A and B are shown apart, each in its own frame.
Chain A
Amino acid sequence: MAKHIVGLLTGLIFGFGLALSGMTQPEKVLGFLDMAGRWDPSLLFVLGGAVGVTVISFRFILRRKKPVLDSRYYFSDETHIDRSLVIGAVLFGVGWGIGGYCPGPAVTLLAAPSWELWAFLPAMLLGIFLQKFWAARREEKNVVDEVAEQNDCS
C-alpha cells in the first residue's frame, strides 16, 4: 500500500515538474535542440536541476543497503556498452529531434492533449510494442538455434 502511495506522489511531483519546466512544450524543446535557430538554452537548466539533485541525493540514498519499503534496488547492473544501447539511443534521438516529445512529456500531456498527442502517443506505444515483440522473437529464435546446436553436438 505504502508503495502505491509513493508511486502516485512521486508521479504527481514529476508531472508538475515536467509541466513547469517547459518539457511538455515541444516547440520549446525543439527551440533548445535547434542550435542553428534562435537557441533557447532554458532546458539546460531542467537537466541541470534534475541531475544536480539526483547526483547528490543518490550518493546518500545508495549508501543504504536497501530502500525503505523494499528489500532491493531495481536498476540494471549492466556496465557493457552494447549495440542495443547505442542503436536505441540513436533512434530515440532521431525521434526526439523530429517531434520534440520524449516519453515522459508524451504521457504527461494526457492532462491537456492537443491533436498532436493523438498522433504521437499511439505511435510511441506501437514502437515500444514492436521492439518488445521483435526482441521476444529474436530470443525465441536464439533458444531454438542453441537447442539445434546442442543437438548437432550430440
Chain B
Amino acid sequence: MNNFSMLQALSGGVLIGISAALLLWLTGHVAGISGIIGRLLFAVKKSDEVIWRVLFLVGLVAGAKLYYLGFAEAPTGREYFPVWLLVVSGLLVGFGSSLGKGCTSGHGVCGLGRLSVRSLVATLIFLSVAIITTFLIRHVFGLGAH
C-alpha cells in the first residue's frame, strides 16, 4: 500500500457513503446490495419497486464502467484460482448474506451508519470469520494462492 492507494480507498469509501446517504435521504431505502438483489428476485411484485432497484444495479455497473474507461484497468482473472472454490464461495456468499439479511454494504455501511447493534454484531462476525477463512485457505490448505 502507498499513499495513493490509501487516498483512493478513502475517496472510494466516501463515495459509497454519500450514495447510501442520498438513497436513504431521498427514498428511505437502505443501499444493501444483497437485499436489493434478493428483493428483486423474490419479494417485490409492484413494478414501481422493481424499477428503481434494477436502475440501481444498472448504475452500479455503469459507474464501474466509467471508472475503468477513464481511470484504470479492470482487474483480470486469477488464472491460478480453482473454479470449484469460486463456486463454493459464491454459494456461501449468496446463502449467508440472504440468511443474515445483509452483507458488507447493508450491515457494514448502512447498518453501522444508523448504529444498529444487529449490524455491528453481523459485521464483526463476518469480518473476523473472513480473516480466519483467508488464513486457513492460504496458509493451512495452501489453496487459492500463487
A contact residues vs B (CB 8 Å cutoff): 2-27, 30, 33-37, 40-55, 57-58, 61-62, 64, 66-70, 72-76, 78-81, 84-99, 101-104, 106-112, 114-116, 119-132, 135
Contact = CB atoms under 8 A, between A and B. Distances in A.
Contact of B99 (A19, A46, A87): A87
B92 A94 contact: yes
Nearest to A64: B25
Interface residues of B, number: 110
Q: Is the interface of A mostly helix, strand, loop or mixed?
A: helix
Interface string B26-40: 111111011001100
Interface of B: 1, 5-6, 8-31, 33-34, 37-38, 41-42, 48, 51-68, 71-72, 74-78, 81, 83, 85-101, 103-105, 107-110, 112-118, 121-123, 125-135, 137-139, 144
A90 B19 CA distance: 27
Given A10-B31, A81-B121, A93-B127, A49 B12 contact: yes
